[in-house]
Amino acid sequence: MSPAPVFVVTGPSGAGKGTLIRMLVERIPVLEVAISATTRPLRPGERDGVEYHFLDEEDFGGRIEEGAFLEHVEYVSGKRYGTLRSEIDRVADDGRICVLELELDGALRVQQDVPGSVTLFIAAPVEELERRLRERATESTGEIGDRIDLARRQLEQAHRFRYMVRNDDVARATGSLCAIVERELAFAATLSPS
């Protein structure tokens, strides 16, 4: 049997991945977002086990040793992020289709290692990324600067992913994303025995 698709949404910080994913999952309820692990501190309003599994360095390192991660990276300011294999299994056990929100290196890793993965790069103009990050104001000024520098370099990598969706209009971008996912799901269904 061919593997169920895994949708990987990537793109620079501030491109609106989180908002688009929320709208996507609302419109296509078979999708479920896997909860990543991270060593970054909680932002106001975030809860452990909801937005992320918030781990300390030692716990995260121990899980790397155990091979618990499908992929993991060190992002800006030395903070770690990773996809737990147990999360992918949990979503599959629920009978749902997994969506991952990953930065670029993690997305490339999954694209390479996971058969049936479908990568979607969310792009937005640099000025827009900068405005959103400053508006969100959840990071220090230095960290926002680092994220913007990284975002510029990341925008040049869009061609490495299967699809690119430009998010200069949320409604339009959501429509494009949903159309791609529905088409991929319909295609995957033709490959599975009924």
Torsion angle defined by CA atoms of residues 134, 137, 138 and 144, in that order, rounded to the nearest 10 degrees = 30
Tokens, residue 165: 């969706």
Q: Is 106 in the site for ligand 5GP (CB under 6 A)?
A: yes
Among 81, 108, 114, 130, binds ligand 5GP (CB under 6 A): 81
Interface of this chain with ligand 5GP, residues 25 to 64, rule: CB under 6 A: 36, 40
Residue with tokens 């790397």: 64
Q: Which residues 6+ apart lie within 8 Å of 29 measured at CB?
A: none
Judge contact between 74 and 40, C-beta under 8 A.
no
Alpha carbons 86 and 105: distance in angstroms, whole number: 20
By CB under 6 A, residue 75 contacts ligand 5GP: yes
Residues touching ligand 5GP: how many (CB under 6 A)?
14
- Among positions 24, 63, 83, 117, the unique one binding ligand 5GP when judged by CB under 6 A: 83
* CB atoms inside a 10 Å sphere around CB 13: 21
With binding defined as CB under 6 A, does residue 101 bind ligand 5GP? Answer: yes
Binding mask 2-31 for ligand 5GP (x = CB under 6 A): -----------x---x--------------
Question: By the criterion CB under 6 A, which residues form the site for ligand 5GP?
Answer: 13, 17, 36, 40, 71, 73, 75, 81-83, 101-103, 106
